[in-house]
Amino acid sequence: MIDWTNSKWSRKHLDLMLRCYDDLKFFTLLSGSVRSGKTVTQIAKAAAELIPQRADKGKILISGKSKETIYNNVLLDLMELYGGKKHCDYNSTDGRLIVDKTVLGSKNDAYIRVAGANKKGNEGAIWGDTFSLWLADELTLHTRAFVNLAITRLSVENSKIFATTNPADILHFIYTDWIANKAKQDVFEYLFFELTDNLNLPEEYIEHVKASFTGVYFDRMIKGLWVIAEGLVYPEFDKDKHIITPEEFKQNIANGLYKEFIGGVDWGYSAEMAAGAWGVTRNNDFHLASEFYYKGKLTADVINWFKAQQKELGIDFNYIFCDSAEPDRIEEMQLAKLNAYASEKEIAAGCNTVRTCFKNDKIRIGTNCPNTQNELLTLRYPQEDEPGFGSETVFIGKDHAADGVLRYPIHTYKKEILGLTY
């Protein structure tokens, strides 16, 4: 429980506390270091102004990882500020908190929907609801489906979002859709808090917390940075160096740089089907011209894509190495007059082949291939506290392009065609 009577507030926290509701943008996100006072500020601001301001406008949503974490992180201290059970009625089963209008100074009681948001299907708890305010705790633990639905339910005039989070990966949708999205600047405000902004923490505690994290977790939890996770499968990939533009690729064709053209496919339907089109230079460098990366597509779709690539580039594919798990789809490609073959599926050896190629600057990824680049930047091995830790064949993150665009064609070509292994 927070000791409100002895709490100290930094200027950064006070400035936010004193800002009027109407001066807040549609979406305010408090992010940064752990224990930097983000949640305390959210609770105090919500209790003093946000909830009383919106109680007469409609329902209010409070969301977090689960109803239990919301209760522990937010509701206990929020209800204490309102006088506890005397003025607050919380039903954990229904996910409902009623705050008495007499303590709010409003015409109506505040009706607050409490919902967990970290699992697929959690968004069902707010289907059909309409909200005048959304308070979100640990926003990066929410599913995209929940966030997107909650935003659509804020249809009451002047509804707003006031959320807290610790940083995550730079490809997390909260970062890409909001923080790094310049088109959202008029409706979104990002407020950054550091550990030292919390004036209630003793110096020795701050040093102890700093010593508890290392590597990427220190960058996220202490520095408050949005950074790529540790343990990347392909840390050798340099997004500023290992790239090639479509114009450069076509010029290389015109200059006769490529001796062969190859492709790869990782089958999918409910998950993404991923395919890539490569040029192999006379020095056995691999240049990715384009990618195919879609859900809900059939074998015929990727066949048409490869044929379109051949026509656009004016080339023929010498080999297309496909996931061997579905031989009937490979046969379908062969019947369509494409040189399709089953790929080598050695996971650890294949990853090593691709890594070695990146290390030796033998791969270039098309600037028009964002999904392949994203997987290279995020696919990682499990950390010490995650299932599969220590395995070289278990990954965290999407690996459709990592398999079909990268590992299948490059490793199979080097092993089967060139007879080279690493």
> What is the enclosing helix (H) or strand (E) of 192?
strand 188-193
> Same domain for 121 and 63?
yes
Cα–Cα distance for residue pair 293/410, rounded to 1 Å: 18
> What is the enclosing helix (H) or strand (E) of 374?
helix 370-378
> Same domain for 281 and 213?
no
When mean pLDDT is compared across 209-218, 249-258, 403-412, the lowest value belongs to 209-218
Per the CB < 8 A criterion, the answer to whether 309 and 289 are in contact is yes
> What is the enclosing helix (H) or strand (E) of 221?
helix 215-221
> Does the structure show a pLDDT above 90 at 169?
no
> Does the structure show a pLDDT above 70 at 291?
yes
Per the CB < 8 A criterion, the answer to whether 133 and 159 are in contact is yes
| Residue 265 domain-assigned (yes or no) | yes
When mean pLDDT is compared across 153-157, 159-163, 394-398, the lowest value belongs to 394-398
> Same domain for 10 and 122?
yes
| pLDDT at 22 (0 to 100) | 96
Per the CB < 8 A criterion, the answer to whether 166 and 220 are in contact is yes
| Residue 118 domain-assigned (yes or no) | yes
> Same domain for 194 and 310?
no
> Same domain for 30 and 121?
yes
> Same domain for 174 and 270?
no
Helix residue ranges, H only, 273-366: 299-313, 327-335, 347-359
- For the beta carbon of residue 128, count every other beta carbon within 10 angstroms: 6
> Does the structure show a pLDDT above 80 at 123?
yes
Per the CB < 8 A criterion, the answer to whether 284 and 363 are in contact is no
Average pLDDT, the chain: 94
Contacts of 69 (CB under 8 A, 6+ apart): 116, 137, 138
> Same domain for 38 and 184?
yes
Cα–Cα distance for residue pair 140/35, rounded to 1 Å: 16
Cα–Cα distance for residue pair 375/293, rounded to 1 Å: 12
> Does the structure show a pLDDT above 80 at 229?
no
| Residue 228 domain-assigned (yes or no) | no
End-to-end CA distance of the chain, in Å? 57
pTM of the model: 0.66
Q: Give how far Cα 400 sits from Cα of 134, 275, 276, 391, 415, Å.
A: 35, 9, 11, 19, 21
Per the CB < 8 A criterion, the answer to whether 240 and 366 are in contact is no
| pLDDT at 42 (0 to 100) | 97
| Residue 231 domain-assigned (yes or no) | no
| Residue 306 domain-assigned (yes or no) | yes
Per the CB < 8 A criterion, the answer to whether 60 and 135 are in contact is yes
> Same domain for 172 and 254?
no
> Same domain for 309 and 391?
yes
Crossing angle (nearest 10°) for helices 299-313 and 327-335: 40
> What is the enclosing helix (H) or strand (E) of 204?
helix 203-211
| Residue 26 domain-assigned (yes or no) | yes
> Same domain for 291 and 178?
no
For tokens 């199979």, name the residue: 412
| pLDDT at 422 (0 to 100) | 46
> What is the enclosing helix (H) or strand (E) of 411?
helix 408-412
Domain count along the chain: 2
Cα–Cα distance for residue pair 260/113, rounded to 1 Å: 60
Residue among 49, 85, 90, 88 nearest 71 (CA): 90
> Does the structure show a pLDDT above 60 at 5?
yes
DSSP 155-172: -STT-EEEEE-----TTS
Q: Which domain holds residue 357?
A: 243-417
> Does the structure show a pLDDT above 90 at 142?
yes
Per the CB < 8 A criterion, the answer to whether 43 and 81 are in contact is yes
> Same domain for 256 and 196?
no
Angle (CA) 121-123-125 rounded to 5° is 100
Per the CB < 8 A criterion, the answer to whether 209 and 223 are in contact is no
> Same domain for 252 and 206?
no
Interval 305-329: pLDDT, tens: 999 999 999 999 999 999 999 999 9
> Does the structure show a pLDDT above 90 at 93?
yes
**What CATH number is given to the structural domain containing 383?**
3.30.420.280
**What CATH number is given to the structural domain containing 75?**
3.40.50.300
| pLDDT at 1 (0 to 100) | 61
Average pLDDT on 150-159 reads 97
| Residue 295 domain-assigned (yes or no) | yes
